[in-house]
Amino acid sequence: MSAAIVREIEAFLRSLRQSLSARDIKAYRGHFWTNRAFVHVDITGRIDHGWGAHEEVIDQEFRYLESEQLAFKEPQIHGHGDETFTVVAQFKLDAVDPGGREQSTTGVASLVIVRMSGDFKIVLAHYSKAPEEVF
């Protein structure tokens, strides 16, 4: 896998984080494959089968939470052919609710990213708890 592809995926991940932090729901959604075959597994084990199920969760988060900050640490990017990539990274998600209560979640993120019509899209996201503190 070329260094240029790695830089492109790192830029994609940076854009994902920035759109979440900026509360730009349209830009944030643009990082995902909006298809019924999309799968998202959150840190509690909830599985969203299909984009529609996950979109409901995103809408609730954007309406309810005051802010969210996502960070990835030491992402490992692997290519599987020319169009499919996996990213495994430690993550930290800091959120603030309307009452000002802060919640920090850490763990491991596994993403499957596919280049579709020239754009990267997350087709599967899996977040799990880390056995030990990662940040």
CATH architecture of 3-134: Roll (3.10)
Alpha-carbon span 51 to 58, nearest angstrom: 10
CA proximity to 10, closest of 72, 84, 68? 72
Give the rounded distance of the alpha carbon of 20 from its chain centre.
Answer: 9
How high is the pLDDT of residue 52? 94
Contacts of residue 45, defined as CB under 8 A and 6 or more positions apart, other chains included, come to none
Phi/psi at 7 (nearest 5 deg)? -65, -40
Could you list the pLDDT tens digit for every one of the 135 residues in the chain? 899 999 999 999 999 999 999 999 999 999 999 999 999 999 999 999 999 999 999 999 999 999 999 999 999 999 999 899 999 999 999 999 999 999 999 999 999 999 999 999 999 999 998 776 555
Domain ranges of the chain: 3-134
How high is the pLDDT of residue 134? 54
